């Protein structure tokens, strides 16, 4: 049998997989809680295409970034280069501009939930097709209050999921006024230490020196510790922005750690960068990453627009949700209908339709099994109840409701069945 592509996964009902990040019940919970948390803060959903012009990411993400190098890119039949999206900020900013959202008087607050594609080396918590939940706040304002509110919302979202063991890391990575001088100083300091640094540091020194700070290789750490920090080079505007952001986090009682070497993988970030790490995730422990990207729209050829947002991997959120928050039984059918005798099935369809109309999930045995076999199937489906309909039941208008856990059977009319199941659900 043909198997799935490396680095992808099937998300299945929990009864078919023991892998927590492949269980659909967990995904549905995370998506539902996200939509509700974001709604309360006035965010609206956007869905952009999975496929975009390669240029969007080449310009937006930066040609020399890891993300760009990992893209799935191909030439379309008309010669155009297209890519599967590796992230959704550039597509969201493109859509913002393409649909004239900049004409809005206030901030446009958007969120998305969808798959992303990066040809990375697969490992725990790292896939080639993975899903992100993200938000973008776009408009003419770069108030730090936007950043503090988004992080407050994130904490609400994590709390509702029961994910509490997290750490917020923040940094300011400067802007067009102060970063170029810092990058020159950084490059110079890296150059002096190049022989002692790993291959990837040496490559990043050429292409994206800020990312050298991000290196996790053990032997590089003593040398990286000696490099200059952006926090010592921030201009007044960036310094003030960062201290106001911190004040607003303090005011909300949100704890954070300043991580002076925190940078973001994508070129378009400026000023505030942040990450939320989770303790239960192992090596790939970044749960959420985000920051400010005021120049991105112009890089893409659009109007000047300021932006702030984050993206979070659903697989990693799903892995971090504790058992206590999950109801793996949400997909469980409430009722399995077993039909005794050939004629009763046509009749049972009508009963099933009316029960479904009352909101009950019903599976009718479509395979014409004998009662014993039908009940065995109901068991393997983990149905809460079975309803047995035969000739006698049709005549009397009362059917046998069997509690699959206790085996207890009661004869009930349709309206009583609805009441029983509804009562159970409360
Ligand atoms: P980034 O877009 O690289 O800033 O990543 C934002 C978030 O997406 C990370 O914090 C992860 O939660 C998630 N993520 C990024 N890359 C992957 C991947 N290959 N597999 C699973 N999750 C990922």
- DSSP readout, 82-113? EEE-S-SHHHHHHHHHHTTGGGSSS-EEEEEE
Q: Order of strands across the sheet with 409-413?
A: 362-364, 335-339, 385-389, 398-403, 409-413
- Is the C-alpha dihedral spanning 242, 279, 226, 294 positive or negative? negative
Superfamily of domain 14-172+246-325: Bira Bifunctional Protein; Domain 2 (3.30.930.10)
| 312 Cα–ligand 1 center, Å | 6
Distances (CA, A) of 102 to 41, 278, 425: 20, 36, 46
The residue whose C-alpha atom lies closest to atom 12 belonging to ligand 1 is 313
pTM of the predicted structure, to 2 decimals: 0.90
- Is the C-alpha dihedral spanning 65, 69, 73, 79 positive or negative? positive
Cβ(278) – ligand 1 distance below 6 Å: no
Cβ(291) – ligand 1 distance below 6 Å: no
Q: What pLDDT does 309 receive?
A: 97
Q: What pLDDT does 280 receive?
A: 76
Residue 275 Cα: closest atom of ligand 1: 10
The residue whose C-alpha atom lies closest to atom 23 belonging to ligand 1 is 313
Fold of 335-425: Rossmann fold (3.40.50)
Cβ(316) – ligand 1 distance below 6 Å: yes
Rounded CA separation 6/78 (Å):
29
CB atoms within 10 A of CB 169: 17
Rounded CA separation 300/144 (Å):
24
Q: Are 112 and 314 in contact (CB under 8 A)?
A: no
Q: What pLDDT does 110 receive?
A: 98
For the record, the structure tokens of 372 come out as 């014993």
| 368 Cα–ligand 1 center, Å | 48
The residue whose C-alpha atom lies closest to atom 17 belonging to ligand 1 is 126
Q: Are 111 and 43 in contact (CB under 8 A)?
A: yes
| Bridge pairing between strands 51-53 and 81-84 | antiparallel
Distances (CA, A) of 41 to 34, 37, 252: 11, 7, 15
Q: What pLDDT does 32 receive?
A: 96
Mean pLDDT for each consecutive 10-residue tract of the chain (426 residues)? 96 93 94 96 98 92 74 96 96 96 94 96 91 97 97 96 94 92 92 91 87 87 92 94 98 95 79 92 85 92 94 95 83 91 91 94 93 95 95 94 96 94 69
Q: What pLDDT does 64 receive?
A: 66
For residue 391, how many C-alpha atoms fall within 13 Å in the half-sphere facing its CB? Answer: 3
| Bridge pairing between strands 286-292 and 51-53 | unpaired
Q: What pLDDT does 425 receive?
A: 58
Q: Are 23 and 14 in contact (CB under 8 A)?
A: yes
The residue whose C-alpha atom lies closest to atom 13 belonging to ligand 1 is 313
Region of 253 (left: φ > 0; alpha: ψ -120 to 50; beta: rest) is left
Q: What pLDDT does 268 receive?
A: 73
The one-character DSSP state at 12 is B
**What residues does each domain of the chain span?**
14-172+246-325, 179-233, 335-425
**What are the start-end ranges of the H helices in 265-328?**
296-299, 314-320
């Amino acid at each position: 049998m043909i198997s799935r592509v490396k680095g992808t996964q099937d998300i299945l009902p929990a009864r078919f997989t023991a892998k927590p990040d492949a269980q659909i019940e967990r995904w549905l919970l995370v998506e539902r809680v996200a939509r509700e948390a974001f709604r309360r803060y006035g965010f609206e959903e956007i869905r952009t295409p999975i496929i975009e012009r390669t240029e969007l990411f080449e310009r937006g993400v930066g040609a020399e970034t890891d993300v760009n190098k990992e893209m799935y890119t191909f030439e379309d039949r008309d010669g155009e280069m297209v890519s599967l999206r590796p992230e959704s900020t550039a597509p969201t900013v493109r859509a913002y501009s393409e649909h004239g959202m900049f004409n809005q008087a206030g901030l446009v607050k958007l969120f998305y939930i969808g798959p992303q594609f990066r040809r990375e080396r697969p490992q725990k918590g790292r896939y080639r097709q993975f899903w992100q939940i993200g938000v973008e706040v776009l408009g003419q304002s770069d108030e730090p209050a936007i950043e503090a509110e988004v992080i407050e919302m994130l904490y609400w979202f994590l709390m509702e999921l029961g994910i509490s063991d997290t750490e917020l890391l923040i940094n300011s990575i400067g802007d067009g006024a102060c970063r170029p001088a810092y990058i020159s100083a950084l490059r110079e300091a890296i150059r002096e230490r190049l022989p002692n640094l790993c291959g990837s540091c040496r490559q990043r020194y050429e292409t994206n020196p800020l990312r050298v700070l991000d290196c996790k290789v053990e032997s590089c750490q003593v040398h990286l510790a000696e490099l200059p920090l952006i926090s010592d080079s921030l201009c007044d505007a960036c310094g003030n922005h960062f201290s106001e952001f911190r004040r607003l986090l303090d005011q909300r009682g949100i704890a954070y750690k300043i991580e002076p070497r925190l940078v973001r993988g994508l070129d378009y970030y400026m000023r505030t960068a942040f990450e939320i790490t989770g303790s239960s995730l192992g090596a790939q422990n970044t749960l959420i990453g985000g920051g400010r990207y005021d120049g991105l729209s112009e890089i893409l050829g659009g109007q000047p627009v300021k932006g702030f947002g984050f993206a979070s991997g659903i697989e990693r959120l799903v892995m971090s949700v504790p058992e206590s928050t999950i109801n793996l039984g949400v997909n469980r059918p409430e009722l399995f209908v077993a039909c005794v005798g050939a004629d009763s099935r046509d009749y049972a369809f009508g009963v099933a339709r009316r029960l479904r109309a009352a909101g009950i999930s019903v599976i009718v045995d479509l395979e014409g099994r004998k009662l014993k076999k039908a009940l065995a199937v109901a068991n393997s489906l983990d149905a809460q109840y079975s309803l047995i309909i035969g000739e006698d039941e049709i005549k009397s208008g009362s059917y046998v409701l069997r509690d699959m856990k206790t085996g207890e059977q009661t004869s009930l009319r349709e309206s009583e069945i609805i009441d029983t199941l509804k009562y159970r659900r409360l």
